[in-house]
Structure 1
Amino acid sequence: MRPYRRLTPLLALLLIALGAVPAAHAAPDTGTGQGSVTAAYIRGATPGAGVELLDANERIVGRGSVDRLGSFLVRDLRPGDGYRFRVEGVRGNSFRVLDGTAPPQSQYDEQRLQPGMNYVRMRDGITLAAFVRLPFGKTLADGPFPTVIEYSGYQTAAPNPLVLGAATGLLKARDPLAPANGLVLGAELAPDIGFASVSVQMRGSGCSGGAYDLFDYPTVYDGYDTVETVAAQSWVAGHKVGLVGISYSGISQIAVAGTEPPSLAAIAPMSLTEDLHSTGFPGGIFNTGFADTWLTERQADATPGPDGGQPYVRQLIQRGDQECAANQSLRLQTPSLRQLVADNPERNPEVFDHRSPSTWAPKVRVPVLLTGALQDEQVGPQWTRIIDRFDANPDVWVRMINGAHFDSLGPQILSQWWEFLNIFVADRVPPPSPALEALSTVMYAAITRSPAVRVDSTRLAGSPSVSAARAAFADSPRVEVFYDNGAGAAGAGGLAAPWSLGLEGWPSSRIVPATWHLGAGGALSTEPGAVESISFRPDPAARPAGTLDVVGPSDIPWQPIPPYNWTPLPGDAGIGFTSPVLDHDVVTAGPASLDLQLSSTAPVTDLQATVTEVRPDGRETYVASGYLRSSYRAVDANATELQPIRSYRNPADLSPGFNEARISIDPMAHAFRAGSRIRVTLTAPGGDRTSWRFDTPATNGLVVDTIQLGAGGSALVLPVISGAVAGAPLPACDGLRGQPCRAYAPALNGG
């Protein structure tokens, strides 16, 4: 061999070292793969590299590109061993995709949480930000303490006092390190009234790790792990915890409790939805108002910090919180939340079932105090449909009230919340709490600008034992309905209901479906009239889209008398039907149905039915609404006379002639007084709700809908409580919370 040939490899190496010859591509960094609950993720891989996920049989079950943060995630996987990622053909470590089986107790026992910011390790290695607050003025040496957890994806684990955030918010420069106002129960009220609280940030949000997943399995089982980790702390009384919260942190409680963590004592969810589809697609129509706004905000919150995400994330990363910074690595793997929901109007069970509280409710074994409002402008009032899902649990109490989203923690309900937490979480006789009574008054004024009656913390304080207090609480009605909220002792629009009714369940056995037939001349009568028909031109542009210029979270609907713009039915864009003057009170409590015989010049038409009370003084009070896209008119085998339950599968155009189309009207609890009249109107969706908007196509008045009247025609079915009478006189029209008032104007057909 010639000498120069032997020198060539050495020369090549020298030239490469000097940079004169391009080097071969370096092997990609395969990062570290890890299994989650029905998911798998990789972190620390080469950005931009092609990546595949292999199962134990070497089948490719996911593929894509590593994002710029070095991560990739695959969802909806079958649990099992032998998974591994392959990055640019290079195989990584093997791991297991998890199921709901709990990890060893050591997972929880070895973690130590201290007052202030903590990072709690989940079973899949992700850590969640959790801020611990001890009872006001206490240290760990004063423990153990009764403890509650608030679990949410809002700005939850932010470290500063919530009250400071609220105060600076009034100055239009809210403290970026304060929790969101929606966390008032856990972040502020609980520690001020003697409970330790842990504010836990959902994965994929704030300073927590992982990718946001909209109540998917990883988030649900994070709740289990969080409960068990917190309960294992030496400062937690009895090593048992409760779950509290309103709205987001109300929804999360049902699924977490449904996983049956052994250290969970009780839950107290407020203002939740029973199914994400019913809020996202009321009647099968996409909610472009609050639901769409909420999804958009969650998507923004899930972007990686410090350039995006929640305000406290930016602040903490800039201050050197390295774990918060590292926990942003999977944020680019958050799915398109709006697409996830908007692409499933037919309620794909694989998308919605496990994300909806109603699926988990039958698995909840701990005591439950469930509260909500019946004109909830955010998640909607259909939350009551979850109540009978708890039928196998004897320790469930429900409190409902007319009003807006916030009203589920009004003073008459908050007093029972105090009793419930003391009995079932703290395991003690509820003591009088001057702090609760004082702080709640300030809270109501600050958040709702509304006066309120004082919270009563003394009702069970004289009980001789915890068992006696528990028995007294358990003796209260399973369902208590507060009527005429806004017309009580707090004054017009204040947080107070002058009367309530106790029911044994929901729907109550006391309910008698009452049928009112739609007739000629806009008549609504208990006997059907002559067979005929009436037509109208549903036009979503005929009225303002909502009664307030609000679509996202806002405290405007919570004011004592919001500046409603509730307009009457214009021209031929809607029809109305009004009963004769009532000679007795008609007290309702439950779902309702408008059963139509419908034809249309369009193959699909969107409709809204609204029930109101026309008062003797010529004014009209809003009660409830319902919606239907006619292609989803088919009901399933579980439908009842009062509740046209539907699966939203297999949509179909209207057939020629009249079609049965039942509109499910949101649950109501309203007393129509003697001397008033009952009214139902039929329009295109919109104009009668505060924050909901509807993806109804423009009709320009060209679509003509016709309904059949009289015998065999259309009818309204109301849930009337047999023999019940109103517990207070007819209230003023203005001031009923969540229920706009307007001057009554007959529709074009006289009703």
Structure 2
Amino acid sequence: MNHWRKLALASAAALILAGGADPAAAQRRSPAAAQAQKSAPWPGLPPGASEEYMTLRDGVRLAANVFKPEGKGPWPVVLSRTPYIKDGRIDPDKDPKGVKNRENLVKQARRYTDAGYVYVLQDVRGKGRSQGFYAAFENDIEDGYDAVEWAAAQPWSNGKVGMTGGSALGITANSAAMAAPPHLKAAYVIVAPADRLSYSYPGGVLKEKDTIGWLSQQGVPQSTLDQTRGRSLDDVGWNRVAMTTNRKYIQVPIYNVGGWYDIFNGGTVENFEYLQNQGAKGARGNQKLLMGPFGHGPLSGDLAYPGADRLGLAGDQEIRWFDYWLKGQDNGIMDEPPVQYFMMAAARKDALSPKNRMIASANWPPAYREVRYYPGEGDALSNKAPTSASRKVSYRFDPTDPVKTYGGANLTFEKGPEDQRLVGQRQDYLRFQTPVLDRDVAIAGPVKVELYAATDGPDTDFVAKLVDVYPDGYEALVLDAPIRTKFRNGRLPEDIRMMTPGAPEKLVIDLWPTAITFEKGHRIALHITSSNAPRFEVNPNTGEPPALGKLKPRVATNTIYMDEAHPTALVLPVVYPDDVR
């Protein structure tokens, strides 16, 4: 039996012994006892909220703001668990007293209370007014279980709990769902990953600025940051809290909302795919997916997609979702197609294409055909497989002079479809592109690059980018991802294998999914290089982890092969517009 299920069952058994047959009953207190548990009001409390505390199974107490509807309860509950402070974060420059943040929290709470829900916003362990030590997402499976059961047992609750939140709050919602608390009935998760290892280390390469930068902003100590820098291998620590390992225990419907330029793009899609098609009873067949043209914050670059505001795009879907699963209202939401995705197209700020649109689908991905585009002579990219016996191109990759990041699925800095012409002309940055398209090419599904490559040392990185080239030359980034060559066979210790200098090997780079129409008059481009900083940690080409830094970085000569025996290819999931309208 799964370790966390054992803990959950042990916790439930203890509650039953303490309070009867209902596992939430032991948490119920008389009004006088409940009052004794509350802290005195304090000035930071948002208007309309009461502060209530719960005690976790290990004795740590967590604080929550509770917003109740008008009238007489009990009511269903919508719960969010946050590391971002339940009373609103202080911005020393823009909002030193946190007034705007509290106003936003109150506005957010009213969405739920006006719809007839108690809204509970809880500080996670070690944050804000809660006790304990904060270790990002390490305790949120068991803490989430306890929080759901506590909320279900309160006098203002009717015992039905939903969870909601985006990003870190989406992770805590997924974590609680993996523990399968009996009173959790549904969740609404916005932009959350499937596996933190894959999203902190895509292709085995640390997302330098976002991973280390975000943890630093959360007050994580330097010792933990140093450990994170060295955690590129698959281990029990990553898997203990990973959705990929534990989502088989999820038993509830989840509405997943994600963005094509979001840092957790692939996770949002992957979680839906698994739970909808392979999930446990209660989850399978009851999932929803909405993918829009947004990132983890406002997009950079010269494109402006309609519906780039993720909340605006989702509309009232969240309340409808909870009305169906927590109130039993037959509002038709489960009669609608389970998938809605935005088909991106040309979107210059002054020339938006009408081919930008939402598409409904019975599942993800929609039916597609893999079409390979092969780089070749003269920087060409075509769907004709190479026939030459020998064709290759080499460049020198100097770790002290990395290619600079311009856009992408970033969190803490510029993100989205920035113009890759800003990279400039460099000998270590290869551009391959199709002729001007004489018809639209629409794709929807997973994108990858099958790269045949060699290096003259033990290890290096390769980075691939999918780019939409506009008629005026604007190189709009669509997707990008790296691979560290020593991890080409996997991330377990026994999978690591250094490269044989000069010997080409097949490397598969997962670029994640997307949906975009490369319009007539545009070009499809594949860009290949070996660095993208500060988005990704720069490889010293020595074979040792960059965090160790014992060996002097070396300049690598990297080679891309493009011949009949080594058919490097961009693999696109081509759909047919008439079939997906």
Deviation string 1:32-81 (CA, Å, 9 cap, x unpaired) is xxxxx98xxxxxxxxxxxxxxxxxxxxxxxxxxxxxxxxxxxxx9x999x
State the shift of 1:373 in Å.
0.9
The aligned counterpart of 1:120 is 54
Q: Using the alignment, how far apart are the partners of 2:142 and 2:64 within structure 1? A: 16
Kept after mapping to 2: 8 A contact 1:347/1:649: no
Tell me, in whole angstroms, the C-alpha distance in 1 between the residues paired with 2:420 and 2:382: 30
CA deviations over 1:566-623 (Å, ceiling 9, x no partner): 6134321111211233333222122222111111112111111000112233322211
| Cα distance in structure 1, aligned partners of 2:538 and 2:339 | 35
> What's the CA shift for 1:344?
1.9
Q: 2:364 pairs with 506, 517, 538, which one?
A: 506
Residues 405, 102 of structure 1: CA spacing in aligned structure 2 closer, same or farther, 3 A cutoff?
farther
**Is residue 2:516 matched to residue 1:670?**
yes
What secondary structure does 1:521 align onto? helix
Q: Taking structure 1 as reference, are residues 363 and 584 closer, same or farther at Cα in structure 2, changes over 3 Å only?
A: farther
Does residue 1:219 correspond to 2:219, yes or no?
no
- Could you say which residue in structure 1 is the equivalent of 2:295? 404
Tell me by how many angstroms 1:382 deviates.
4.5
Which residue in the other structure is 2:132 paired with?
210
Matched, 1:475 2:335: yes
For 1:485 and 1:668, how far apart are their aligned partners in 2? Answer: 12
Q: Does 1:395 align with 2:280?
A: no
The equivalent residue for 1:12 is: none
Check 1:196–1:170 CA distance in 2 against 1; reply closer, same or farther (3 A cut).
Answer: farther
Alignment of 1:469-548 (within 5 A): 469=331, 472-484=332-344, 487=347, 498-508=356-366, 510-529=367-386, 530-531=388-389, 532-539=391-398, 542=401, 545-547=404-406
Give the corresponding residue for 1:686.
Answer: 532
Any conservation in 1 of the 2:345–2:517 contact (CA below 8 Å)?
no
Q: 2:213 aligns to what?
A: 293
Task: Please give the alpha-carbon distance, in whole angstroms, between the structure 1 residues aligned to 2:103 and 2:208.
Answer: 24
Deviations 1:721-740 (A, max 9, x none): 43225999xxxxxxxxxxxx
The aligned residue for residue 372 of structure 1 is 258
Alignment partners' CA distance in 2, 1:565 and 1:675:
18
> Counterparts of 1:74-473 in structure 2 under 5 Å?
103-104=14-15, 105=23, 106-110=25-29, 112=34, 115-135=49-69, 138=70, 141-156=71-86, 158=87, 172-176=94-98, 187=109, 189-191=111-113, 194-216=116-138, 218-236=139-157, 238-300=158-220, 336-348=223-235, 350-376=236-262, 378-379=263-264, 381-390=266-275, 391=277, 392=279, 393-406=284-297, 409-427=310-328, 466-467=329-330, 469=331, 472-473=332-333
Contact 1:599-1:707 at 8 Å conserved across structures = yes
Give the 3-state SS of the residue equivalent to 1:203 in structure 2: coil
Residue in 1 that maps onto 2:422? 567
Give 1:21-60 correspondences, 5 Å limit. none
Distance 1:212 1:251 in 2: 15
3-state SS of 1:608 partner? strand
Are 2:393 and 2:559, in contact at CA under 8 Å, matched by a contact in 1? yes
The worse-fitting range, judged by mean Cα deviation, of 718-727 and 599-608 is 718-727
TM normalised by structure 1 equals 0.63
Match of 1:653 among 498, 510, 525: 498
TM-score (norm 2): 0.80
CA contact (8 A) 1:257 1:366 kept: yes
TM-fit CA distance, 1:534: 0.9
2:261 is paired with a residue whose SS is: coil
Q: In structure 2, what residue type is equivalent to 1:589?
A: A
Displacement, 1:398? 0.5
Secondary structure of the residue aligned to 2:214 is helix
CA contact (8 A) 2:420 2:476 kept: no
Cα pair 2:458 2:541 within 8 Å, conserved: no
What letter is aligned with 1:482?
F
8 Å Cα contact 1:148-1:241 kept in structure 2: yes
| SS state at 1:128 partner | strand
1:256 CA displacement: 0.7
Offset of 1:189 from its aligned partner? 4.1
The structural deviation recorded for 1:367 is 1.4
Q: 1:178 to 1:241 in 2, by over 3 A?
A: farther
User: Cα 1:609–1:421, aligned 2, differ >3 Å: closer, same or farther?
Assistant: same
CA distance in 1, matches of 2:255, 2:107: 14
In 2: Cα distance, 1:497 partner to 1:265 partner: 38
Matched position secondary structure for 2:154: coil
SS in 2 for 1:685: coil
Identical amino acids, percent of aligned pairs: 23
What amino acid does structure 2 have at the position aligned with 1:147? V
Q: How many residues align?
A: 527
Instruction: List alignment gaps of at least 5 residues for structure 2.
Output: 16-22, 39-48, 298-307, 543-552
Distance 1:498 1:192, change over 3 A: farther
Name the CA distance, whole Å, in 2 between partners of 1:708 and 1:528.
13
Unmatched segments (≥5 aa) in structure 1: 1-36, 39-75, 81-96, 304-334, 428-465, 636-645, 729-751
CA contact (8 A) 2:188 2:318 kept: yes
Shift of 1:123: 1.8
Distance 1:188 1:550 in 2: 31
Change in Cα spacing, 1:79 to 1:502, as seen in structure 2 (3 Å) is closer
**RMSD of the alignment, in Å?**
3.7
The answer to whether the 8 A contact 2:463-2:528 is kept is yes
Cα deviation digits, residues 130-182 of structure 1 (max 9, x gap): 111123xx3xx5323332001122212x2xxx5xx7xx959624325886899
- The answer on whether the counterparts of 2:447 and 2:512 sit within 8 Å (CA) in structure 1 is yes
Letter in 1 for 2:130: S
In structure 1, C-alpha distance between the alignment counterparts of 2:492 and 2:443, rounded to whole Å: 26
SS of the residue corresponding to residue 228 of structure 1 reads helix
Over 3 Å counting, the alpha-carbon distance change for 1:548 and 1:596 in structure 2 is closer
Structure 1 CA distance for aligned equivalents of residues 512 and 204 of structure 2: 14
Task: Provide the secondary structure at the position in 2 that maps to 1:422.
Answer: helix
Amino acid at match of 1:213: A
Kept after mapping to 2: 8 A contact 1:241/1:264: yes
Amino acid at match of 1:693: F
1:383 positional shift: 3.6
Take 1:696 and 1:417, find their aligned partners in 2: how far apart are those partners?
A: 43
Does the Cα contact within 8 Å between 1:579 and 1:677 map onto a contact in 2? yes
Give 1:709's match in structure 2, choosing from 537, 556, 562: 562
| Amino acid of the structure 2 residue aligned with 1:517 | Y
Q: Name the larger-Rg structure.
A: 1
SS of the residue 1:652 aligns to:
coil
Contact 1:542 1:573 survives alignment (8 Å):
no
- Secondary structure of residue in 1 paired with 2:180: coil
1:210 CA displacement = 2.3
Secondary structure at the aligned position of 1:419 is classed as: helix
Change in CA separation of 1:619 and 1:485 when aligned onto 2, cut-off 3 Å: closer
Q: Report the alpha carbon displacement of residue 223 of structure 1 after superposing the two structures with TM.
A: 0.9
- How big is the shift at 1:486? 9.7
